[in-house]
Amino acid sequence: MDFLNERRTGILFPVFSLPSPYGIGTLGPDAFTFLDKLKEAGQTYWQILPTGPTGYGDSPYQSDSTFAGNPYFIAPELLRETGLLKNGELKENEWGSDPSRADYGLLYKKRALLLEKAFRRFEPDSAYKDFVDAESHWLDGYASYMNRKEGKSEDYTRFVQYEFYSQWHALKNYANRLGIRIIGDIPIYVSQDSADMEKDRDLFQLDEDGKPSAIAGCPPDAFAAKGQLWGNPLYNWDYHEETGFSWWIGRMKHCFEMYDIVRVDHFRGFDEYYSIPYGAADASLGEWKKGPGMKLFRALKIALGEKPVIAEDLGYLTDSVRRLVKDSGYPGMKVLEFAFDSREAGDYLPDTWPENCVAYTGTHDNQTLKSWVGELTPEDQRSAAIYLHRTVKELLSGDYVYDFIRLTMNSAANTVIIPMQDYMRLSSEARINKPATMGGNWTCRFTKELFTDKVWEEIPVITKESRRERR
């Protein structure tokens, strides 16, 4: 199959949102069930969010390692099947009173206790030793980092990563056998508090004391009056170029061993990146500086060959960013919700979308369709209604979620990804993240009751109608 170049569709759904009795979605039975349902519904893709350990603000985009997997995603019941946990041990902990929310504080306190019990029963075998040897280029540094940061023994950290990757590859292999391809997601930057920064400081713009001389973010706009202060260290692109972009080549090689397709967040940062002085109170004092551009992507293609990449090119785009996306050949992104938001400078109307793009009703950073329409200004509601050849009253009184999904699915875009919560007609409680805010993000979970027959019956109908079913 020619990924992203054929008329196909899939669903955006984070691993942490999967149903599970253990406080957060895991790589266990419910993930396999979800894949079965995707196949039955004629879907080709499952897009997830970054799978690394969550850091500041519980964000998957602020991980303490570019390469490590999230221990919370390890399925306890699969450890029981291999004899590393006992049935009573799975039941002795409460994982939160609200099954619709992940309680990261509780997970932090209790999940490691469960994994430590499994670790004490674990006996290394040849598969484990092969994993440790093959991944030593990042695993050794990460184990040392976790020992210093949290007092975890290095062998324990290696065990946890082995179990994560064993379960992950079992799930991915199952998906691929069903004809489902996994779209992974990687942040452009790494966290300041990370094994990556600790291991090789030359990769980043640091001062003599080892602190960032500048940090990442984005400038003020209509959505954030003072901009966004992400706090990530910026790359020393001169050093990356001098080393043949070897770190990026290793990073992307690892990603393509995990995922079938990789979505790269904040793609415009490769053209120009927003540099904010370290210690600034907000992002208003930043300035744009030149990134590596096509030099990086030429190096990646020489080293890894042609790989399927999605360029997250949302937001304010300059001509040079558009040229970089075009020159790379990677499909960019189109978001339906931006089409009727007068604050958006770009043209996101569906009739303007090219074939070489990945279209969404919304992403993890957007409001659900159900609530989005009600939050539009009267003028924007009118624009949306006119586009659908309706009055505002007709729009709001009908199943406008279906109308906008159908509009997206019937577009020219080769690839369409729909968030699961839109198919479920969920409101703002199912929003994954609200940018530039702290608290309440990345916690949304979906109980089994939400996966109704009605939901799963509608998806293949609209998929076939839009000629996107797997053949």
Q: Contact at 8 Å (CB) between 92 and 21?
A: no
Q: Left, alpha or beta for 442 (phi > 0: left; psi -120 to 50: alpha)?
A: left
Query: Annotated catalytic, 365?
Result: yes
Distance separating alpha carbons of residues 369 and 392, to the nearest angstrom:
16
Residues in the chain: 471
Catalytic residue list contains 202: no
Sign, CA dihedral 322-323-324-329, equals positive
Catalytic-role residue among 30, 163, 260, 312: 312
The predicted pLDDT at position 385 comes to 97
Sign (positive or negative) of CA dihedral 148, 149, 153, 154: negative
pLDDT at 1: 52
Give the C-alpha distances (Å, rounded to integers) separating 135 from 127, 216, 381: 12, 29, 52
Contact in structure between 173 and 257 (CB atoms under 8 Å): no
pTM: 0.96
Mean pLDDT by 10-residue block, N- to C-terminus, for the chain (471 residues)? 88 97 96 98 98 92 96 98 94 83 94 97 98 98 96 97 98 98 97 94 94 94 86 97 98 98 96 96 94 98 97 89 96 96 84 97 98 96 96 97 98 98 98 90 96 98 96 73
Q: Around Cβ 444, how many Cβ atoms within 10 Å?
A: 21
| H or E element that contains 411 | none
The CATH code of the domain at 8-465 is 3.20.20.80
Give me the catalytic one of 89, 155, 365, 403.
Answer: 365
**Active-site residue, from 221, 265, 458, 469:** 265
- What residue spans define the domains of the chain? 8-465
According to the model, what pLDDT value does residue 143 have?
A: 98
CA dihedral 249, 252, 258, 262 (to 10 degrees): -160
- By CB neighbour count within 10 A (0-12 exposed, 13-18 middle, 19+ buried), where does 330 fall? buried
163 assigned to active site? no
The per-residue pLDDT for 377 is 96
Q: Tell me 54's DSSP state.
A: P
CB neighbours of 134 closer than 8 A, spacing ≥ 6? none
